[in-house]
Amino acid sequence: MAIDSLLFVDNVRAGYIKDVDILQGVNFKVEAGELVVVIGPNGAGKSTLAKAIFGLVTPHTGQIIFKGKNIVGLKSNDIVKQGMCYVPQIANVFPSLSVEENLEMGAFVRNVPLQPLKDKIFGMFPKLRDRRRQRAGTLSGGERQMLAMGKALMLEPSLLLLDEPSAALSPILVTQVFEQIKQINQSGTAIVLVEQNARKALEMAHRGYVLVSGRDAISGTGKELLNDPEVGELYLGAGKAH
């Protein structure tokens, strides 16, 4: 791993209770413009890794280097200012505010004209333009995920962390959300995608990591992981897991 990567996670141990580490020495990296997928069984530490990167969980040991700076110990709002955004699985929009107001809230740390940014997001997510004055709490699950991503993109981040964006969505909406993720990445934003829908995620990933018991057990290109017999048997439904 090279420290000149956009994001470099080095031997990170972290958890929510003192002396109980969910992450057991994770190593992980993201290059500029990459789409990197994190898969693994429930309880493997996937969401904890995303939260540790974004400053919501403080590692007990190890380094997290973002754009050449160690961000361990920084608060999330300071990490946002460095150019990173995080979209949690739930509670990721302000339900009582309109779609447009949510986007404006997404740019709270920026002192720039917001209309061009909003127009850019509406161009990416046309459904949001149609519902710009609608309260976010009345949107469908897929529309809420699009708004959550759009809100984060108002900051024009270098790196976007997405935690289970397809959870609880219908297959049609999952396809739509994944297409939007691919489009965001193709526009130049690096993405870390934590996802249970392993096959669909790996099909569009540049690289992937399989977390098992808090460790990066397997890594490789998206194609390599899709063709790996062990990954296929345990995580892709290509056989019976034992």
Q: Is the pLDDT of residue 185 over 80?
A: yes
The residues facing 219 across adjacent strands are 209
Domain formed by 7-235, architecture: 3-Layer(aba) Sandwich (3.40)
pLDDT of 170 reads 85
3-class secondary-structure state, position 42: coil
b/e string for 225-238 if b means 16 or more Cβ within 10 A?
bbebeebbebbbee
**pLDDT tens digit sequence for 27-37:** 999 999 999 99
Q: Report how far Cα 27 is from the mean position of its chain's Cα atoms.
A: 17
User: Given this model, what pLDDT does residue 171 score?
Assistant: 86
Judge contact between 29 and 47, C-beta under 8 A: no
pLDDT of residue 19: 82
Instruction: Return the pLDDT at 3.
Output: 64
At 121 the pLDDT is 93
Over the stretch 110-151, which tens digit does the pLDDT of each residue have? 777 889 999 999 998 999 999 999 999 999 888 999 999 999
Average pLDDT over residues 163-183: 89
Strand ranges, E, within the chain: 7-14, 23-30, 35-39, 61-66, 69-70, 84-87, 159-163, 190-194, 207-212, 215-221
Check whether 86 has a pLDDT greater than 80.
Answer: yes
pLDDT band of 240, cuts 50, 70, 90? very low
| pTM (2 d.p.) | 0.90
Mean pLDDT of 164-190: 90
List the chain domain ranges: 7-235
Residue 227 is predicted with a pLDDT of 92
What local confidence, expressed as pLDDT, does residue 237 receive?
Answer: 62
Tell me the two tokens of residue 119.
Answer: 């127009």
The per-residue pLDDT for 2 is 56
* 241 pLDDT more than 50: no
- Give CA–CA dist 186/208, Å, rounded: 17
DSSP letter assigned to residue 137: G
Residue type, position 238, single letter: A
